[in-house]
Structure formats: C-alpha cells, structure tokens
Amino acid sequence: MPIGVKVLKRPTQQTSYLRATLKGMALTFSHLLRPKVTMQYPEEKSSKDWTLSSRWRGTHRMLTDEQGRAKCVACGLCPQICPANCIKLVPGEDEEGNRYPLIYEIDEFRCVFCGYCQEVCPEEAIHVGVHYENSEYTRDRFVYDLERLSAQTHPVSTLWDPSDPKGE
C-alpha cells in the first residue's frame, strides 16, 4: 500500500455478504406483512398516530355574536400588529356610537400565520383556524372579506397548549 492506512480485521459475521443478504431478505419480508403507516389522505384526515394539532395556525375565522354580527369593534389593533401587513380595516360607526368594520379583508397570500391578530384582539373576534384545505381556482379568491371570514366554520386555534400555557 502506498500510504499507511490501517485496515482493521473485522469478524466474519460482519464481512460475510451471504449472512447480510439473508438477514436483509428476512427483514424485508417481515416488513411485507407489517401494518402500513400510510394515511389515505382524502378519505382519512387523521389517524390514531396523528391528528392536526389544536395549536395549528391556518386560515382565519371571524367569530360572530348572537345576532350573527362580527364581534369586531374595528379597534385597529390587528392591522397594527400584523407583521405581514395583510389585514385591511376601514372602521365605521353607527348612530349609537358603536364601532364596526366597514371593510375587513385578510390577504391570505401575504399572511404569515403568526397568530398575532388573534393574540392582540381584545374582543376575541379574529382567530387563526385549525384548517389547511384552502385551494381556489383564482388568486383573488384568497383575499377573504368579512362575510367570508364570518362564514368559516372550522375550529379556531388555541395558539398555546391549554395545559401548559407558558410553554414550560
């Protein structure tokens, strides 16, 4: 050998191609009969090993009060805190002096799903949702207006683990 490489002598059971082959064949055959881990997505959306976390932050949902009006009071905190600047809010006021959103739009393409809007909302009106099936045929369908946000029915995110709120 040109350079001094030390080659260690290994025991026979490690160098035998024959034994390794047979062992491998036995292993693959045993896997052939084992239960499969595949989750068949459109039919099964969760299995006993995996469900979507309740802390999942997906597309938004606006909660409504008993009369079906959005809980939002147009305070302007969510567009203020939004790091992606994806919330468009034009506040309005009725004759009794109650503020409400004239326009409330979220551009889901710009949204980074940080969940700050839900955290900052004093009325617990805007929420990020536990939802991920958002396909649309056109890009402009991804700007969700107030009506659409209020019509969403999927569960809302808990943002933190209820049993461990500080993440300790």
Partner 1 sequence: MTFFILSSAIKVFVVFNLIMVGVALLTLLERRVCAWMQDRLGPNRVGPQGIFQPAADGLKNFLKEETSPAMADKALFTLAPIVSFVPALLTFAVIPFASPLPTRWGVVPMVVADLPVGFLYILAISSLGVYGIVLAGWSSNNKYALLGGLRASAQMISYEIALGMSTVAVLLLAGNVTLSQVIAQQQQSLWFVLPLTIAFLIFFISALAETNRLPFDLPEAEGELIAGYHTEYSAMKFSMFYIAEYSNMVTASALMATLFFGGWDIPFTTWDSAGEPTVLKTIVTLLAFGAKTFFFIFTYIWVRWTLPRFRYDQLMALGWKVLLPLALLYIAVLAVAIWFVRVQIGWAYGPGMALVLFGLNVALLVPLVWWLDRGRLVSGSMPQETT
Q: Is residue 141 near partner 1 by the rule CB under 8 A?
A: no
Residue 21: CB minimum distance to partner 1, A: 6
Interface region with partner 1, contact rule CB under 8 A, candidates 26-34, 76-84, 92-100, 158-166: 26-34
* Overall size of the chain counted in residues: 168
Residue reference for tokens 């999927």: 154
Examine residue 96 and tell whether it contacts partner 1 (CB under 8 A).
no
x/- letters, 5..24, toward partner 1 (CB under 8 A): xxx-x--x-xxxxxx-x--x
For residue 30, give the 3-state DSSP assignment.
Answer: helix
The kind and range of the H/E element at 91 are strand 87-93
Q: How far apart are CA 64 and CA 67, in angstroms?
A: 8
Beta bridge partners of 90: 103
Our finding on whether 31 is near partner 1 (CB under 8 A) is yes
How far is Cα 167 from Cα 110, in angstroms, rounded to an integer? 28
Shortest Å, Cβ 15 to partner 1? 3
- Write down the least CB distance from residue 46 to partner 1, Å: 17
43: contact with partner 1 by CB under 8 A: no
Q: How buried is residue 104: exposed, middle or buried, by Cβ count under 10 Å (0-12/13-18/19+)?
A: buried
The binding site for partner 1 (CB under 8 A) comprises 1, 4-7, 9, 12, 14-19, 21, 24-25, 27-29, 31-32, 34-38, 40
